[in-house]
Copies of this chain bind each other. A is one copy, B any other.
Amino acid sequence: MADIKIFAAETPPEMAGEPDDIRQAIELLFFAYRDFTSDPDLILLRSGYGRAHHRILHFVGAYPGINVAQLLRILRITKQSLGRVLKQLLKQGFVEQRPGKRDRRQRLLFLTEKGRKFEAQLSTPQQKRVQQAFTAAGPDAVAGYLKVLEHLIDETERKFIIDAIKRG
């Protein structure tokens, strides 16, 4: 286990096509994201929920009063996909709906106390992981990290997303 090598023993030394630093960066993001999501995933698995539940809990928790259309745009899923999971969260009493005051067609979403607790439970290990990485890498690295991430977002969505994240 400790001495497994990823290097293919019979790999020819000549090595293919794409600029290697970009390939490395792509793989690094893959691995980092894999582990980044692993913390809540583990808890979710034991609780009988999935990653989709966490995403909803996170965004409803971070943006109380968010409506369904906004949530759909953020998650980039269909309302049917959202509906299935959201319905469970409502039934389980993690999320509650209130009609919008300006537009009574809208269902504004809020976490209940129970939802807040569960969300915190899911997010805490993930936050700790990020905090630890930030501390280890140092503030300059963090600034660079955030800058690159912003530029990975679709140019057409970038401003919208960044403004949204920084609200509050």
Binding site for B on A (CB under 8 A): 4-13, 15-20, 22-36, 38, 55, 58, 61-67, 69-70, 73-74, 76, 100-102, 108, 116, 120, 123, 126-127, 129-134, 136-138, 140-154, 157, 160-168
Which one of B38, B127, B141, B167 contacts A147 once the chains associate, using CB atoms below 8 Å? B141
How many copies of this chain does the complex contain? 2
Closest to A123 in B: B18
B165 near A35: Cβ-Cβ < 8 Å: no
- CB-defined contacts of A38 to chain B, threshold 8 Å: 154
List residues of chain B with CB within 8 A of the CB of A131.
19, 22
22 A-B residue pairings within 8 Å (CB atoms):
A4-B70, A5-B164, A6-B63, A6-B164, A9-B65, A9-B102, A10-B65, A11-B63, A16-B64, A16-B116, A19-B131, A23-B62, A24-B165, A26-B126, A30-B55, A32-B150, A32-B152, A32-B153, A137-B148, A141-B145, A141-B148, A145-B149
Contacts of A19 in B (CB 8 A): 127, 131
| A18 CB contact (under 8 Å) in B7, B67, B127, B148 | B127
Bound Cα distance from A11 to B120, whole angstroms: 19
A132 touches B151 (CB 8 A): yes
Question: Which residues of the partner chain B approach A5 to less than 8 Å between Cβ atoms?
Answer: 70, 164
CB pair A143–B144 under 8 Å, yes or no, is yes
In the complex with contacts A11-B64, A127-B19, A142-B148 CB distance below 8 A? yes
Are A168 and B7 in contact, CB atoms less than 8 angstroms apart?
Answer: yes
Give every chain B residue within 8 A of A31 (Cβ-Cβ).
149, 153, 157, 161, 165
